[in-house]
């Protein structure tokens, strides 16, 4: 699949940030509406929830497709499965929140509202965890980088790189970087 120059891994990368940000602020807007009693914040929370859920599921679909075509070994595969599970659970949580809000919108009780807000906080934590796993895949395992590209990059890095005077304060060669925690 290639749409506008995007294969599945690149499409997943392009699609995953905005829905995560929308769902993140959905929770903030919703809690802000609870504290301030402002209907504008409540409405904004619902709209960002809608957009985040729709976009989030598109990112999940692209990620599921990307899994089948990127080069990877067992270590990356394990993290990829955890990332996939976290993304699906997180999107399911926000989908339930959206459905409940739409179905019970006019008749929702204070207790139900609190329960839905707490469920949104669980989704909020899910976004952070899913993003952490996605970062681990990319930065620790080079997910989405083909073996050929990775080999070329490793050879290029082995040659080293020196900055021109004034370009950088320090010269960080791979050997001079602090160890990764």
118 within domain boundaries:
yes
The region, left, alpha or beta by phi > 0 then psi within -120 to 50, assigned to residue 154 is alpha
112 part of a folded domain: yes
pLDDT for 172: 55
CB contact set of 173 (below 8 Å; sequence gap of 6+): 160, 161
Within a domain: 23: yes
**Any idea what the Cα angle at residue 144 is, between residues 149 and 141, rounded to 5°?**
90
| Cβ neighbours around 11 below 10 Å, total | 22
- Assess if residue 153 is contained within a domain: no
What is the domain extent for residue 48?
8-145
- Summarised one tens digit per residue, pLDDT across range 15-68 is 999 999 999 999 999 999 999 999 999 999 999 999 999 999 999 999 999 888
Is position 151 within any domain? no
Q: Examine residue 35 and state whether it is found in any structural domain, yes or no.
A: yes
Look at residue 125 and tell me if it is in a domain.
yes
Domain contains 173: no
pLDDT tens-digit map of 55-98? 999 999 999 998 888 888 889 989 999 999 999 999 999 999 99
Total domains in the chain come to 1
């Amino acid at each position: 699949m290639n749409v506008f120059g995007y294969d599945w891994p690149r499409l997943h990368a392009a699609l995953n940030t905005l829905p995560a940000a929308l769902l993140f602020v959905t929770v903030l807007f919703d809690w802000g509406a609870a504290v301030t009693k402002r209907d504008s914040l409540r409405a904004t929370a619902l709209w960002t929830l809608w957009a985040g859920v729709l976009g989030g599921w598109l990112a999940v679909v692209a990620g599921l497709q990307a899994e089948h075509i990127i080069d990877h070994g067992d270590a990356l595969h394990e993290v990829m499965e955890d990332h996939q599970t976290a993304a699906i659970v997180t999107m399911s949580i926000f989908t339930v929140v959206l459905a409940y809000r739409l179905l019970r919108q006019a008749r929702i009780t204070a207790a139900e509202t609190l329960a839905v807000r707490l469920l949104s906080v669980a989704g909020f934590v899910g976004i952070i965890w899913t993003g952490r796993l996605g970062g681990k895949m990319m930065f620790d395992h080079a997910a989405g980088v083909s073996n050929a590209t990775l080999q070329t990059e490793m050879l290029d890095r082995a040659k080293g790189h020196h900055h021109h005077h004034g370009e950088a304060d320090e010269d960080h060669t791979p050997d001079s970087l602090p160890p990764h925690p």
